[in-house]
Structure 1
Amino acid sequence: MPTLPLSINGKIYRIACEEGQEEHLERLGQYLDHRCRQLVGSIGHISESLMLVMVALLIADELSDVSGELHELRTALGAAGGDGPSAREQAEERVAQVIEGLARRVEGIAEALETS
């Protein structure tokens, strides 16, 4: 089982992962490090444990938003199933809007990782 060194907020953590998951784990570590830097930049230095809890809450909030959007999409698609072309078109338009929003988020994250 490979072990990777991840730098989070200036400290190195050795984390084990499944074979073939190294790049994915590295990207996750970079994202976590980026969020830690953002937090430190906005509120200043705080204890490591408090910072990691706050970053975990920020990431959980992002996950909650995405989960809510996914639920909304599933509901819209389910409701549009038998209501004719108009309802289906509205649902597809909403899906397209949410996907565009998610794509902008992913692009922003990728850009932030590239500049960090």
Structure 2
Amino acid sequence: MAKADITLRGRNYSIACAPGQESRIVALAGQLDARLQHIASAVGDIGEDRLLLISALALLDELDAARRTARPSPEMERKMAEALGAASDRIEALAARIESGG
């Protein structure tokens, strides 16, 4: 197991991670630290636990909103189904040609 050394609000942490993921963890920690600094400047001194709680809730809210907007519309689902159907038909036709020898 590899480890990434990160800093959040001036405190250093060593985080276990999968090998090769160290730079990703450090980059994510940098984004989290910036978020923590921004929220801390907006709400003042509320303690580290509450600050982390607010940050986690804000990130989960953003993730939920992104998931909702990422869902395809019914029209897009219809188009995707048509495209998959057409691709399936072409694959079956090619397989039939190959099986018949030409």
Using structure 2 for the length normalisation, give the TM-score: 0.71
- Residue by residue over 1:33-55, the C-alpha shift from the partner in whole angstroms, topping out at 9 and shown as x without a partner, is 01100001111121111110100
Alignment of 1:5-24 (within 5 A): 5-24=5-24
Q: Partner of 1:3 in structure 2?
A: 3
Letter in 1 for 2:77: G
Using structure 1 for the length normalisation, give the TM-score: 0.63
Pair member with larger Rg: 2
Name segments (4+ residues, structure 1) moved above 3 Å: 79-83
CA distance in 2, matches of 1:40, 1:51: 7
Q: 1:36 aligned to 2:36?
A: yes
The answer to which structure, 1 or 2, has the higher relative contact order (CA under 8 A, 6+ apart) is: 1
Counting matched residue pairs gives 82
CA distance in 2, matches of 1:27, 1:81: 35
Alignment of 1:4-83 (within 5 A): 4-71=4-71, 73=72, 75-80=74-79
CA offset at residue 80 of structure 1? 4.5
CA offset at residue 76 of structure 1? 4.2
Letter in 2 for 1:29: A
CA distance in 2, matches of 1:14, 1:50: 22
- When the two chains are superposed, the root-mean-square deviation of aligned CA atoms in Å is 1.9
Structure 1 residues without counterparts, runs of 5 or longer: 84-116
CA distance in 2, matches of 1:30, 1:46: 21
